[in-house]
Amino acid sequence: MAKYILKRVVAAILTIWVLITIVFFLVRLMPGEPFTSAKLTPEVKANMEAYYGFDKPMIVQYGTYMANLLQGDFGYSMKYTNRTVNDLIGETFPYSADLGIRGLVMAVSIGLILGIISARNRGKKIDFFCVIVAVLGTSIPDFIMGAVLQYFFGIKWGLFPVARYEGIEYTILPAFALSFYTLASVSRIMRASMLEVTSQDYIKTARSKGVSELRITCKHQIRNAIMPVMTVMGPTVASVLTGTFVIESIFAIPGMGRHYVQSVSNNDYSMVLGMTVFYGIFLVLCNLIVDVLYGVADPRVRIGKK
């Protein structure tokens, strides 16, 4: 077990390093300059470039950046004067994290329940309904879901606040819009794996022993069927996270996704770099946790070839 975890941790660190390196050099390759204001005289511009270290060779900049990063310092923003990337992340990330966690919990819990109900009632009307929800979910892009929800529930029927993020009732629409796609895919995977498990010998054994249906579902089916859902949790976290980019701008939530999109269009190099690295590390760590948990839950994974 320790060997398995160690292997995953080393792989994760390597991935993070490759990610930072790729992102660093890609960001330096970007066209457009961060200091483009017409008021800047050449001297001032040169001073600013010296201040941010752009006059040094690329490899030195890379070294400095990595050294700072190891101390947890993501650098300065170039557009928002005198503010560090750490500040902005610290300010905006709680909103995104809150929204993301709500979305994720909603997606996984509703998705699992739909999948289980659907598999238990295979071929009946309720199964058909769940399958339709699943197909719809994977067919509706999240920004469209967000806009449609906002229009009908917020503007037309006035059931929920239209925008901003100031209380529990503000979180429901964006969290649901964010979770819908994931909810659908979780319910599809859960349904498929529940059906697969149903034909296994141990279920037949349990049934022939006279174990009640409810107990079979809870104790035998769900516990075994949930494994494939766990494998997709890594990509799921990623899709929820990138979903926040658009959902936050639709619902005017002051989160990190909205800032990221703005920095992209502002050519704010250090901001894009810092946030991308932050997102990347976050996602790689999420994947690592999922991998380790998977190894704990299913011994075959750590003994197996891969």
Partner 1 sequence: MAELKKDQFIIKGKDTVRMESISRPSLSFWQDAWRRLRKNKSAVVGLCIVVLYALLAIFAPIFSPYTQSEMDVSSQNAFISAAHWLGCDSTGRDLWTRIWMGARVSLSIGLISAVLNMCVGAVIGGLCGFYGGKLDMIVMRIVDLLYGIPSLIITILVMMVLGKGITPLIVAMCVVGWIGTCRFVRGEVYRIKEQDFVMAAKVLGVPDFTIIIRHIIPNILGMLITNLCMAIPGAIFQEAFLSYIGLGITPPDCSWGVICKEGIQFLRYYPHQILIPAFFVCTTMLALNLLGNGLRDAVDPKLRGTE
Nearest 5°: the CA angle 66, 72, 73 is 75
Contact flag: residue 160 with partner 1 (CB under 8 A): no
Q: Which of 139, 133, 104 is nearest to 118 (CA)?
A: 133
- Compute, in degrees rounded to 10, the torsion defined by CA atoms 102, 281, 288, 189: 50
CB atoms near residue 31 (< 10 Å): 5
Token output for 288: 């690592």
Contact flag: residue 206 with partner 1 (CB under 8 A): no
C-alpha distances out from residue 156 to 140, 150, 152, 169, 170, Å: 20, 9, 5, 17, 16
Query: From CA 100, how far away is CA 136, in angstroms rounded?
Result: 21
> Judged by CB, which is closer to partner 1: 121, or 211?
121
User: How many residues interact with partner 1 (rule CB under 8 A)?
Assistant: 48
Contact flag: residue 272 with partner 1 (CB under 8 A): yes
Which residue intervals of 200-268 are DSSP H helices?
201-208, 213-215, 222-231, 233-250, 256-266
Token output for 113: 């329940």
Contact with partner 1 (CB under 8 A) among 5, 48, 126, 147: 147
Contact flag: residue 138 with partner 1 (CB under 8 A): yes
Contact flag: residue 285 with partner 1 (CB under 8 A): no
Contact flag: residue 144 with partner 1 (CB under 8 A): yes
Contact with partner 1 (CB under 8 A) among 64, 139, 205, 212: 139
- From the list 87-95, 202-210, 216-224, 239-247, the region that binds partner 1 by CB under 8 A is 239-247
- From the list 62-70, 74-82, 96-104, 135-143, the region that binds partner 1 by CB under 8 A is 135-143
- From the list 35-43, 54-62, 93-101, 242-250, the region that binds partner 1 by CB under 8 A is 242-250
Write the CB contacts of 70 (distance below 8 Å, at least 6 apart in sequence).
none
Q: How far apart are CB 177 and partner 1 at their closest, in Å?
A: 12
What residues line the site for partner 1 (CB under 8 A)?
Answer: 11-12, 14-15, 18-19, 22-23, 26-27, 29-31, 135-136, 138-141, 143-144, 147-148, 150-151, 155, 188, 191-192, 195-196, 238, 241-242, 245-246, 249-250, 261, 264-265, 272, 276, 279-280, 283-284, 287
